[in-house]
Amino acid sequence: MRRSFLSIFYLSIFSFCFAQGSTEIYLFDMKTDKGQIILSNGINITKHKGYDNQPFFHPTQPLIYYTSSDDSTRIDSSDIKVYNYQTKQSTRFTNTADREYSPTVTPDEKFISCILQRRNGAQDLVKYPIEGGKPKVLINHLKVGYHTWASDNSLFLFVLDDSVHFSLHYYHLVNDVDTVVAENVGRGLNKIPGQNAMSFVQKISDTLSVLKKFNLGTSAVSNIIYTVKGKDQLAWLQNNIIVMSDGKQIFFYKEDPYSEFKDKKWKPITITGSSIKLKSITRLATNAENTKLAVVVSE
């Protein structure tokens, strides 16, 4: 039974670029008060029929990069857009015949790295100059599904080995060193703020996954907490706080290395002053100051 579930789960991820649902991105103000996280003033920043997903905040500017498809039934139209949350305006960053996913500002802030899915089925990791221009290929010998930067020249990669095998790679670009860190991983790959460490989700069963930490200095792997049931998307805030959703509600956990693993619990986040009904919450992202939270939901 477990093997059957994993095969179905991984096959659904394998098709993540080919069959998107209609989604929107909401943006909330966020603050921490007396040990609680409060969201308020939620607005829909995309407001159009189709796929709007994978938000990523620029670390020093009021910008959110995201993937957008004007018609979720087509597979030939997926570009990167950028939303300015001061002017409340969106503009197109790419307009290509290929399909771009998971836009990410590189550590030097000079490029937008992304997954480039080509017409021939290849799925490469590339980077576009942030001021505009043609992409440079970074990795084209692996089928990269998701990525996040560990340093200026190294990344964590969610690699689609085949339709039922997925692995986490720690890849160094300069010397082309590729280390497989774990198998059966989820999509949530994150650099942990204020730590020389990354986090990733490892699947155990259809309802059980563990959020784990990879120490970039020692390569040691340790457990943080069981994820929200069946989920693998999350965001890290400052002060060792993690936010996740079960699809209906958003939760947080403040990392505590001294408590027993079995006793670690998620706490609900309060949303105030809003009549917005969020449904099928998936991805979450925050800005560097942790004053904004982007939430992806179904239309």
pLDDT given for residue 288 in this prediction = 97
Is pLDDT of 155 > 50? yes
Cα three-residue angle 183-293-204, rounded to 5 degrees: 20
| 8 A C-beta contact, residue 291 and residue 59 | no
% of the chain beyond a pLDDT of 90: 76
| 8 A C-beta contact, residue 238 and residue 253 | no
Q: How far is CA 238 from CA 12, 52, 263, 283, in A?
A: 32, 26, 22, 18
pTM of the model: 0.91
CATH number, domain containing residue 148: 2.120.10.30
- Which residues form the domain of 97? 2-298
Is pLDDT of 13 > 60? no
Residue 39 CA to residue 250 CA, distance in Å, equals: 10
Encode pLDDT of 76-123 as tens digits. Answer: 679 999 999 999 999 999 999 899 999 999 999 999 999 999 888 889
- SS3 label, residue 46: coil
* Mean pLDDT of the residues in the chain: 90
Tokens of 295: 């939430």
Predicted confidence band of residue 5 (pLDDT cuts 50, 70, 90):
very low
Predicted confidence band of residue 71 (pLDDT cuts 50, 70, 90):
low
Judging by DSSP bridges, how do beta strands 270-272 and 36-44 pair with one another?
A: parallel
Q: Is 240 exposed, middle or buried (0-12, 13-18, 19+ CB in 10 A)?
A: middle
Predicted confidence band of residue 49 (pLDDT cuts 50, 70, 90):
confident
Count of domains forming the chain:
1
Backbone region of residue 121 per phi and psi (left: phi > 0; alpha: psi in -120 to 50; beta: other values): left
Is pLDDT of 6 > 80? no
